[in-house]
Amino acid sequence: MASLANIIRQIAEPDADAARAAAERLDSLVKPLGSLGRLELLAIQLASIRGKAPLKFPSKEILVMAADHGVWQEGVTPSPQVVTAIQAVNIVQGKAGVSVLARNAGAQVTLVDCGILGPDIPGTLNHKVAQGTGNIATGPAMTREEAESLLVWSAERVIAKAESGLSLLAVGELGMANTTPAAAMVAVLTGAAPAQTVGLGANLPPERLAHKISVVEKAIAVNQPDASDALDVMAKVGGFELVGMAGAMIGAAAAGIPVVLDGFLSYASALAACQIAPALKPYLIPSHLSAEQGTTIALKALGLQPYFDLSLRLGEGSGAALALPLIDAACAIHNEMATLAECQITL
């Protein structure tokens, strides 16, 4: 297993020459300058990541990290804990929301079991760290060693997939009660109060929101995570799937491929990943503005603007799947539109 530092050192700066060439081509196309707005900026970002390679992404994967959480015991979600395992089966069988949207976008879905309660689930990529995390309201989610090992494993898995042809990664997650550790991470890493980062998650009754906020406040008070040490934050108040997503992001950047973020949970992981590996940020593509409270705080801290707002809050990578056709569209306008010169138009 490579060291985390060695993986981070592999992250290259995006290709500025490729970005300039893409911008010049977009300006030469048969359209008013800048008239395709952020789609053009997306094409330029993608070109800077691809460098000299053609601007296309034939092999896309949505990596869904799944785990259970000890903090579920605090009554922070109305969802039964067994739903994590049930929905994992649905994803593997192609029945879940992310499965349908990924098929529509031409992407493969891989579900990683990094801590689902119960026996191994056929069809998942099994890397079970433990039977769920510790209860962050009473102690740490995991040890620092577990967090770093999972971070590195996830990064190495993405690097290996890229070496086998993967050209674009999207991340998603699954785990009942996981908006609670995500809200704790965002609060610590941004300095925001838990009341600003804690939302209703999966249909928590509004009258229970104050309790959920108090659980996050207690988790931070009990564990005293170091805001300047993202690995410490993830180990103490995070979750296995949150660590797994952060590692996947770092691995994607190290492999030179873009990574599409999903929503609030992935933004929490991105905050940690970008603190650990600042060179990662140009590789991130934010998909949507999650309906979960705390999303805008996380995005502001990341300096990212999502591409759409459909009031989504499913998770699983569903928002990231919806962003994949936008990426294909950005490539298509760059690659296939005619130029002004070709159309014999002079301005």
Catalytic positions are 316
- Of 22, 63, 251, 78, whose CA–CA distance to 173 is shortest? 63
- Of 110, 152, 135, whose CA–CA distance to 4 is shortest? 152
DSSP one-letter string for 137-164: TTS-SS-HHHHHHHHHHHHHHHHHHHHT
Task: Scan for tokens 């992935």, then name that residue.
Answer: 266
Phi, psi values for residue 115, rounded to 5°: 165, 35
Rounded Cα gap, residues 130 and 165, in angstroms: 31
Contact in structure between 175 and 76 (CB atoms under 8 Å): no
Upper half-sphere CA count for residue 9 (Cβ side, 13 Å): 5
